[in-house]
Structure 1
Amino acid sequence: MNTALHPLIENAQLLAFDLDGTLIDSVPDLASAVDKMLLDLQRAEAGEASVRQWVGNGSLALVKRALTNNISGDQQIADEDETLQQAHTLFLKHYQACKGEKTVCYDGIFALLDTAKAKQIPMVLITNKPYQFVPEILQELNLEHYFDLVLGGDSLSEKKPSGLPLLHACEQLNIAAQHGVMIGDSITDINAGKNAGFKTIAVTYGYDHGKPVQECDPDLVVDSLDELV
């Protein structure tokens, strides 16, 4: 394949991708699970628009934000809170049941994935989603064969924005961090990349927690991943 890649990734030795908001739009299913959880607790539904702002820091943070109806809710409830634990269990049950019903791949992702794979650039998936949901989603969307390593938010002792998952991927694949590029949709991904010493690319269409990714100072911003090919 003679297709060139963007100069920022042409010589990369590792591409690390976020999942939700970068490769797939999973909010419709996440919102369904959140709303069912809230109804179980006799609370008002949150709705898809709110959930779209809350996704990206893992399932526990999402449930905290849903319980408080606030993007800062993850800072207001202790992890040990009994209502939170009950709500989180309910959310996981509902998401397990609906996780692939309305989730779709974003336009433009396969141009980059196919080109990088043809050029034999190692790719890893680093998501804050609980790992238990990830393999089946990847399989259903024909994404599983692209990645040399897949890490969920509970795979290691820390998740993004920590750089640990990215550095773990480097260690597993024997690649120096300065040759890695993190591709994501939010400040969580960009900070994880910076914390690991990666270059960073942000997409504009994902879940930005209400903070435009341009303000997160990534090395590059694109409207579609096919701009990188």
Structure 2
Amino acid sequence: MSDTTEDSPMAASQNAHGLSHPALKGIALIAFDLDGTLIDSVPDLAHAIDLMLEDEGLSALGEARVRDFVGNGSRVLVERALEAHGRKIDDIDMVERTHHAFLAHYAADPSSRTRLYPGVRECLDGLCRAGVSLVLITNKPEAFIEPLLAHFSLAEHFVLALGGDSLSTCKPDPAPLLFAAERLGVSPNQALMVGDSRHDIAAGKAAGFRTLAVPYGYNHGDPISASQPDYLVESLDALVAVH
């Protein structure tokens, strides 16, 4: 597949809709992270973690503490919560039990406290109108993706959604990104990875995608600029604004 040029149908479509942000030049596929990029899910995740800890007779950690634990999938989130209480995560039976409990608590209510970040809907709507293919690549278990997208009426925006357990590896491994590009017949150099954490940027770079980051998400307290994304925007609606 050849590179998209300014005169191509896709570029013309982007220009017609005002999608002149330099990150989008020649881009046919955009992969979005979910937690910390499109949605702030920490309030619901923290609630489920605290219920899991209560099951174990442990004190709640609260939203602010759990916020720094998010980004590497549900099992790592649970392990970090247990480690915060001094529990040894080499106790496999304990980790399995608590992980299962966390998933059950989260499944019971994954969205009532979760919110879309400002500019997200405007961004996704604009990109879809411009004909850009959108995929979702998250480390969240696949079972939670559909309920969350349905809750926010976003399912129709994505042609493919991959969770942390959809393939044998997840971000920062580039495999999910390469899988999506191959599935949609798009060369990696015509794809953009959008995320909030170093794992998103590392996966994008390893896959040969262009990378764009937002600074408001979950990156374990570190500035996302340190991961050297190709682009950084304060809000995702910058991608569909007229420049």
Corresponding position of 1:216: 227
Matches within 5 A, 1:70-149: 77-78=89-90, 81-149=92-160
**2 CA distance for matches of 1:103 and 1:14?**
26
**2 CA distance for matches of 1:110 and 1:5?**
18
Query: Are 2:70 and 2:218, in contact at CA under 8 Å, matched by a contact in 1?
Result: yes
**1 CA distance for matches of 2:18 and 2:187?**
25
Q: CA deviation at 1:101?
A: 1.0
SS of the counterpart of 2:106? Answer: helix
Which runs of 5 or more structure 2 residues have no equivalent in the other structure?
Answer: 1-15
Give the direction of change, closer, same or farther, for the CA distance of 1:5–1:139 in structure 2 (3 Å limit): farther
Once superposed, which parts of structure 1, at least 4 consecutive aligned residues long, lie more than 6 Å away?
none
Query: Are 2:17 and 2:130, in contact at CA under 8 Å, matched by a contact in 1?
Result: no
SS of the counterpart of 2:161? Answer: strand
Q: CA deviation at 1:77?
A: 2.8
**2 CA distance for matches of 1:218 and 1:97?**
36
Q: CA deviation at 1:50?
A: 1.2
**1 CA distance for matches of 2:235 and 2:219?**
15
**2 CA distance for matches of 1:184 and 1:29?**
20
**2 CA distance for matches of 1:185 and 1:130?**
18
Q: CA deviation at 1:111?
A: 2.0
Corresponding position of 2:26: 11
* Residues 1:27 and 2:28 aligned together: no
The CA deviation string for residues 165-199 of structure 1, in whole angstroms up to 9 with x for no partner, is 00000111011111110000000111110111111
* Residues 1:55 and 2:64 aligned together: no
SS of the counterpart of 2:79? Answer: helix
Task: Tell which structure's C-alpha radius of gyration is larger.
Answer: 2
The count of corresponding residues between Structure 1 and Structure 2 is: 224
TM-score by length of structure 1 reads 0.94
Q: Please give the root-mean-square deviation of Cα atoms over the aligned residues, in Å.
A: 1.4
The CA deviation string for residues 17-44 of structure 1, in whole angstroms up to 9 with x for no partner, is 0000000011000000000000100111
SS of the counterpart of 1:181? Answer: strand
TM-score by length of structure 2 reads 0.89
**2 CA distance for matches of 1:178 and 1:132?**
30
Q: CA deviation at 1:5?
A: 3.2
**1 CA distance for matches of 2:17 and 2:239?**
14
Identity within the alignment, %:
48
Amino acid aligned to 1:62: L
Q: CA deviation at 1:10?
A: 3.2
SS of the counterpart of 1:11? Answer: coil
Corresponding position of 1:38: 53
The CA deviation string for residues 46-102 of structure 1, in whole angstroms up to 9 with x for no partner, is 1101111111110000000000018xx9xx734x71110010010001001120111
Which runs of 5 or more structure 1 residues have no equivalent in the other structure?
Answer: none
* Residues 1:173 and 2:188 aligned together: no
Q: 2:198 aligns with which of 164, 172, 187?
A: 187
Amino acid aligned to 1:52: R
**2 CA distance for matches of 1:182 and 1:5?**
17
